[in-house]
Amino acid sequence: MQSDEMIRARVVAGAFDTAAEEMSATVTRTARSPIFNEAHDFTTGIFDLHEGKARLIAQAPGCTLHLYAICSAVQAALDVFKNDLHPGDIILASDPGHGGTHIPDHVVIMPVFADRKPVFFPVVRAHFADSGGPVAGGYNPAARDIWQDGVVVPPLKLYEKGERRTDVFDLILANNRVETWLKGDLDAMRGACLTAARGIERVIERFGLADVRASIGHNVAYTERRVRAEIGSWPDGDYHAETFIDHDYQGAHDIRICCTARVRGSDITFDFTGSAPQVDGFVNSTLANTLSFVFVAIASCIDEDVPINEGYINPVRVVAPEGTVVNPRWPKPVGNCTCICGAEIAEVALLALSQCAPQRVGVNCHKLPLAYTSGRYEDGKPWISLNFHGYTGGAGAAYGTDGWGLYPPLMTGVILPSIEMNEMQYPMRIERHEYVTDTEGAGLWRGAPGVGTRIRFLASNITNAMLAGVRHPTRGFCGGNDGPPNALALTSEGVRLDVTEVVYNHRLARDSTIEFLRGGGGGWGAPHERPPASVLADVSNGYVSIAAAEEVYGVAIDERTLTVEQQRTTELRGDRRPAHGQE
């Protein structure tokens, strides 16, 4: 490639990245739902048409678990409208049977035309606060078919040739409990696409379509080269791992997910053959969701400076047999798939990779203690809270780093809503939100400590609670300990209910509370390899107790002086030799 081509390719890539980031800012600043404007549970990206297929060319930092799902959803929508696209069209879709994941995650797509042909597609994928159906909030733990998950939205034009299809728009709003939020959110998503379209048109005007396309080709090829270089550095072989889902909330327990990572040169295949058959409950994962979580796993193993585009995906192949929990047949429910079993899919992929690329894996954790609450404001308008604060924390460790606070990478881009805003927007008070001592997965690098959260409700409400990560908590890597289990309890009118698995449409009175314990992340490497000074710092910070420092890490600490007792520590650690070269 000529140097001027290379420079132009970088300028074009930057322009598209900027356009995607502008989309993201537009959604944040104009959406109505707190899930959008506070929690940022959305992702923006730009696609082009390449050899008749949608190709991801730019993406703004957003909710990681939307990353690949956005690709299959866009392709499914373009398949439907491939001969019926016009300038000003806006397409909405959320169909688990056609490129979707779970129903709350909707995509909005807009074609951008050049030379009278649709060539680019700005896309927003976002989690709607509600999606109709039997349970407010879109997570129905009693679901046994897709219609009990919510209302399915196959690709549908909300705007045609720039004109709003009012009847279709109203139809979508009518099937949502928070239509005022949704109306604002849909407008925000369209506004983001229009913003991107202007940016894209500027790039085309400046460089010409042919050169822009050539630059995109260079950029995609660059990403692919970088990803292939990483995979190529891993030894060829078949690496097998398995993990388990706690339950499907319908009576099935210990549901197996297994994966063989086959590394062949710079190609890798993730083969899920042998995973459990599809289950009755809503933890099945659509194929798009399975691809998405594999992508999340592999993305966490690649250098962060590699631009995210289709080149990332090209070296990766996924085999997910139909009729299994990782690729169920219609109409099995999938409502919880972006949590469970997405968490297990990423976990098992990382466990497989830990055998060939141990220094690349870690930071795993997405098994959440979920509780969704809905009610009505004093004026009768509905509210739905996903109670994001209860899910924070729990990032696992990776080679060279302890797990960090807030959300783990699977939810990178999702921002913890401010407590003040939350308390203004919902009738609630967040009374506790803090690390809990001795709730980390120990290791040479330890997981982030668990987080305890207590939310008190100032109004009666209905809550659905779903516990995960108890029978099979978050796994550690390369000798690191697993994270401790999650816990969840509801207290209403003085009666405490410890959730063991699920609570369905539970009425909570005014002044009731939900208490979450989000278990900490798993460790990386053996705990006794952790430097005593680091353990001492953990004790000083309240992450680890003196007793656990001694019992788990083999580090004796003088309670009075808060110093490491070297002699005793040496005795405790004995002749265990470090496996990972750290002392």
Please give the residue ranges that form the binding site for another protein (CB under 8 A).
80-81, 95, 97, 132-134, 142, 144-145, 147-148, 151-157, 167-168, 170-171, 174-175, 177, 249-251, 280, 329-333, 502, 504
* CB nearer to another protein: pick between 284 and 387: 284
Which residue, 153 or 241, is less far from another protein as judged by CB? 153
**Least distance from another protein to the Cβ atom of residue 285, Å:** 15
Residue 353, CA distances (Å) to 181, 222, 240, 356, 582 in order: 41, 23, 9, 5, 22
Residue 243 vs 336, nearer CB to another protein: 336
Q: Which residue has the tokens 């008749």?
A: 52
Give the residue with the Cβ less far from another protein, 178 or 487.
178
Structure tokens at 454: 């207590």
Q: How far is the CB of 157 from another protein (least distance, A)?
A: 6
Please, what is the minimum distance in Å from the beta carbon of residue 89 to another protein?
11
Per the document, the length of the chain is: 583
Residue with tokens 């996924």: 318
DSSP-assigned beta bridge partners for residue 457: 428
In this structure, which amino acid lies at residue 105?
D
Cβ at position 171, least distance to another protein in Å: 5
Q: Within a 10 A sphere around the Cβ of 156, how many other Cβ atoms? A: 19
Which one, 134 or 542, has the nearer CB to another protein? 134
Query: How do beta strands 42-50 and 53-59 pair?
Result: antiparallel
- CB count within 10 Å of CB 165 equals 15
CA distance 396 to 56: 29
Q: Which residue has the tokens 């229009």?
A: 194
Cβ neighbours for 316, distance < 8 A, ≥ 6 positions apart: 267, 268, 269, 270, 294, 295, 298
Q: Find, among 292, 297, 309, the residue nearest to 59 by Cα.
A: 309
> Whose Cβ is closer to another protein: residue 91's or residue 548's?
91
For residue 464 the two structure tokens come to 């659905």
> Closest distance between another protein and the C-beta of residue 289, in Å?
18
Nearer to another protein, 134 or 400 (CB): 134
The SS3 assignment for 206 reads: helix
In 3D space, the residue among 196, 192, 174 whose CA is nearest the CA of residue 183 turns out to be 174
Task: Give every CB contact of residue 382 below 8 A, 6+ residues apart in sequence.
Answer: 136, 177, 178, 374, 375, 376
**Which conformational region is residue 102 in: left (phi greater than 0), alpha (psi within -120 to 50 degrees), or beta?**
beta
Residue type at 117 in one-letter notation: K
- For residue 565, count other CB atoms closer than 10 A to its CB: 16
Closer CB to another protein, 147 or 435, in the complex: 147
Neighbours of 579 (CB within 10 A): 13
Tokens 């699920």 correspond to 502
Amino acid at 149: D
Residue 367 Cβ vs another protein, minimum distance, rounded to whole Å: 21
Q: How far is CA 580 from CA 372, 550, 576, 583, in A?
A: 42, 21, 12, 9
Shortest spacing between CB 162 and another protein, in angstroms: 16
Residue 166 or 567 with smaller CB distance to another protein: 166
* Shortest spacing between CB 168 and another protein, in angstroms: 6
Q: Report the Cα–Cα distance between both ends of the chain, in Å, rounded.
A: 46
Q: Give the largest CA-CA distance in the chain.
A: 78
Residue type, 565: E
Rounded to the nearest whole angstrom, what is the least distance from the CB of residue 276 to another protein in the complex?
Answer: 16
- Angle at the Cα of 57 from the Cα atoms of 55 and 58, rounded to 5 degrees: 140
Of 137 and 393, which has the nearer Cβ to another protein?
137
Residue with smaller CB distance to another protein, 89 or 402: 89
- How far is Cα of residue 213 from the mean position of the Cα atoms in its chain? 30
Q: How far apart are CA 239 and CA 347, in angstroms?
A: 14
Q: Which is nearer to another protein, 133 or 394 (CB)?
A: 133
Nearer CB in complex with another protein: 100/362: 100
Comparing CB distances to another protein, the nearer of 5 and 170 is 170
